[in-house]
Amino acid sequence: MKWTAADVELYQKEKDYIDTALIPLIPITMDDGAKTAASGGEFVQLVAGELERQLKGRVFLFPPFSYFLSESRQSLVERLTDWTSLLMEQGMKYVFYVTCDREWKGKETAISDRLWLVPAVPLENMDESYKYELIRDQTSGLLRFFISQWS
Amino acid sequence: MSDKHRVTRRQFLNYTLTGVGGFMAAGTLMPMLRFAFDPILKDEAGTEMVAVADVKDITTEPKRFDFKVKVKDAWYESEEPRSAWVYKNEKGEIIALSPICKHLGCTVDWNTDKEHPNQFFCPCHYGRYTKDGTNVPGTPPQAPLDRYEYKVKDGKLYLGKAKPRGEA
């Protein structure tokens, strides 16, 4: 499911079956790291989109949780925890995150063990078929992660 | 000079003007006709057959082939990845199944559930299908997997639209 009117309609009908939320965490910065951050964000969105395509009957892909890198980590963690508990209250059993920002992994929080980190890759100057291969590879890793958490 | 091929100045000008005029008329009429008939001539989006695999690669074991189709979503045209599970049945006919689970649209995999080997398995809600795509009763899906329309040309397999069983 994606955050579109048609998918939300289906979600409301089949609520019992769709119990997993996926939130991409997208960092933003305008200084020297901008290009790296943008490229990472692009990759995260591609992987999340491909995963949604394969598991659309159970996974709800939410609009990205975007933040500036200069924001305080503590308040970000708080905000994300709020998002998570809101979703849980609404009937989601699992909430997963996918990001390219290593800092999320560093801290031992409730978030870090439900987080999938994609590697930083310079997608823009990559061959089309290789890019496809890479996305497929990451997606299947993420897919296995989901399946292992489900069972 | 012989009289047979004598062309008067008047005739010459007539011929030339008719010829040039004809070209000009054709030049303006052709685009108009094309515009008028264009919707009929254009292929319906998504119905074109796409080359997916070499026929010699197809075995009796379902194998996944990935391909891309052009899709148009409002004004945004893009290439969307698709896949198909392709195999030959006992009669040697090619079967190309769509991997989209008929329950809620996840992607099914072949032979990944250890308890139920040689079946298509949907990881989302444990839906199962037999090799020919028939849904296993008691699992969530209510209909068999869609089948792709296919044709074989020059040793290549071309796939078209996926249609519910019975229509393809």
Domains of chain A: 5-141 (3.40.50)
Closest C-alpha among B163, B38, B155 to residue B96: B163
Q: Phi and psi at residue A68, in whole multiples of 5°?
A: -85, 140
CA distance A70 to B13: 82
Alpha helices (H) in chain A, listed in sequence order: 5-13, 34-54, 73-89, 103-106, 128-150
Q: Is A55 on the interface with B (CB under 8 A)?
A: yes
Q: What is the arithmetic mean of pLDDT over B35-60?
A: 76
Chain B (65-104) residues lying within 8 Å, Cβ to Cβ, of chain A: 81, 101, 103-104
Q: CB distance B106–A58 less than 8 Å?
A: yes
Q: What is the mean pLDDT of residues B153-167?
A: 83
Q: What is the pLDDT of residue B167?
A: 58
Q: Tell me, what's the pLDDT at B42? A: 63
Q: How do the pLDDT tens digits run along chain A, 151 residues long?
A: 999 999 999 999 888 889 999 999 999 999 988 988 999 999 999 999 999 999 989 999 999 999 999 999 889 999 999 999 999 999 899 999 999 998 888 766 667 788 999 988 888 788 888 888 888 899 999 998 998 888 7
Architecture of domain B50-163: 3-layer Sandwich (2.102)
Q: How far apart are CA B110 and CA B128, in angstroms?
A: 10
Give residue A87's pLDDT. Answer: 93
Tell me which residue in A50, A58, A132 faces B124 most closely, judged by beta carbons. Answer: A58
Going from N- to C-terminal start, the domains of chain B cover: 1-42, 50-163
Residues sharing a CB contact under 8 Å with residue B47, sequence separation 6 or more, in sequence order = B160, B161
- Compute the nearest-CA separation of A49 from chain B (Å): 12
Are A96 and A23 spatial neighbours (Cβ–Cβ below 8 Å)?
Answer: yes
- Residue among B168, B150, B138, B167 at smallest CA distance from B159: B150
